[in-house]
Amino acid sequence: MADFVTLRAYAKINLNLDITGKAENFHTVEMVLQAIDIFDTVTVSKDDEISVKCSDDNLPSDENNIAYSAAKEFFCYTENEGGAEIKIKKRIPTAAGLGGGSSDAAAVIVALNILYESHLEDDQLMAICESCGADVPFFINGATQLAEGKGTILTPLPNLPECAFLIIKNGTKNSTGEMYNKFDSLGEIEHPKTAELVEAICEGDLYEIAENCENVFEYLYDDNFLSIKQKLINNGAISASLSGSGPSVFGLFETKDKAKAAKDVLEDEYEEIYLCEPINCGFEE
């Protein structure tokens, strides 16, 4: 039996994001999520209690850390008596709309399933994930998925054709709840065409995929956001959009070389800029 499990917890971008309605206490969405090869390293060991040590001192190390909550939910679900020492080496930018905390939480659940030999199936793992947050279940299998409802109704999609992304994080993140409240105050808007995006992915047509990368939260951003989008396009991106509720903007490129060329031009202007590619799996040891 392993003494510890170490996993790569991959980030995600939203190829698109649409808000389709509002229920009593949540919004309904349609969005296509894509795992990318920026990752945190999450190491989990058995222990008597739950503890979290994170390389980013700005993140909490107690029950306010979603990784702590994930371990607590795992033990509650499985009725195992035990604990976990969780160590997280951060590489995914925090408060960026890239799902770093959610990916770490899912990694903890997967690691504990291995350590405690619980033999949970994916649907059980995702049920635990959902108790931690609506965007956590995606990370169990990662790759490319359509998310609907609260974001927890997941449909696997084919892998993207060859491409790369350049991500620029510029500015601070507003809370997701605040962004949804601001969205509610908007009037009529043009919604993303999720069905067209899904069809383009199924056909492997990168240019049609690019045509349909849209995010309704873009309506809440100012000219600085539009400037970043335009700079990415001016430097070779075939489309650019927001990830999650922001503030990260990604450009979609035909090749990694083209994305790198754009990074070489823009990295003097933006401190947080990341070159990455799609990753077609969940966690890797």
Which positions are annotated as active-site residues?
Answer: 12, 135
The two structure tokens encoding residue 266: 């823009």
Cα–Cα distance measured from residue 66 to residue 108, given in angstroms and rounded to the nearest whole number: 10
Q: What are phi and psi of 150, to 5 degrees?
A: -75, -5
The runs of H, that is alpha helices, within the chain are 66-78, 100-115, 122-132, 176-184, 194-203, 206-211, 223-234, 256-266
Cα–Cα distance measured from residue 166 to residue 156, given in angstroms and rounded to the nearest whole number: 24
Contact partners, residue 240, CB within 8 Å, separation at least 6: 213, 228, 229, 230, 232, 233, 249, 250, 251, 252
Residue type, 110: V
Please say whether the beta carbons of 179 and 134 come within 8 A: no
